[in-house]
Amino acid sequence: MENNYALYLVTDTGICPRENLLTCVEEAILGGVTMVQLREKEISSRDFYEEAAALKKITHKYQVPLIINDRLDIMLAVDADGLHIGQSDIPASVARRLIGGNKILGLSAGNLSAAQQAKLDGADYLGVGAVFPTATKQDAKFIGTETLKEIKKAVALPIVGIGGIKKENIDALYGSGIDGVAVVSAIMGSDDPRSAAVNLRACVKNF
């Protein structure tokens, strides 16, 4: 399984109801999504586990890596491909020790020093944002494309831009050098996630 960060889908059951999640993700993969992150907050551990196990069957059918947000226990329990953690999750160095060297560890970074620290902490890739203002994560700090470019230049890791990215603004990212874009609403919020993914994927070139 290749780690292709080009079009990275982050789920949100606030946008796409839980009962539609598997269908939505499968459609998105068929449309060109290259990586999937399952993000759940208000859910029991059992339900999260069941959902992750079901989603893994789909992602693996298409050889797309499945990353679990925050919950290292769920990641281990379903043997997902990786873990994505932020500042309010367990420390990255602890996570790396517990998941081992063969799993993907993604870290969130909102500025250059956080990105540099994340590399030291053993990240395999960085989610950097919020690139544009976003309704999905209203507390996210808006960083703009210049910081994205600066981080990509300074930190030798795959960089995925996240936050408010959509077909209409993606061209602002050309020249930033990033490795891919992560989207939530632009796919999960679409009536036709497959077409949404096709359209976005067509815009994902060499940034």
Rounded to 10°, the helix 45-61/21-31 angle is 30
Per CB under 8 A, contacts with a copy of itself among 52-81 are 70-74, 76-77
Measure the CA angle with vertex 125, ends 121 and 128; round to 5°: 100
Is 202 a binder of a copy of itself (CB under 8 A)? no
If binding is defined by CB under 8 A, does position 195 make contact with a copy of itself? Answer: no
Query: In 3D, which of 89, 24, 83, 84 has the Cα closest to residue 54?
Result: 24
Map the footprint of a copy of itself across residues 83-112, applying CB under 8 A. Answer: 85, 87-91, 94-95, 98
Q: Residue 122: beta bridge partners?
A: none
Specify whether 152 is catalytic: no
Q: Indicate whether 137 belongs to the interface with a copy of itself (CB under 8 A).
A: no
**Is residue 185 flagged as an active site residue?**
no
Contact with a copy of itself (CB under 8 A): which of 2, 17, 19, 46? 46
- Indicate the burial class of 44 (C-beta count within 10 angstroms; 0-12, 13-18, 19 or more): exposed
Candidates 56, 71, 96, 108; catalytic one: 108
Rule CB under 8 A: which residues touch a copy of itself?
44-47, 49, 70-74, 76-77, 85, 87-91, 94-95, 98
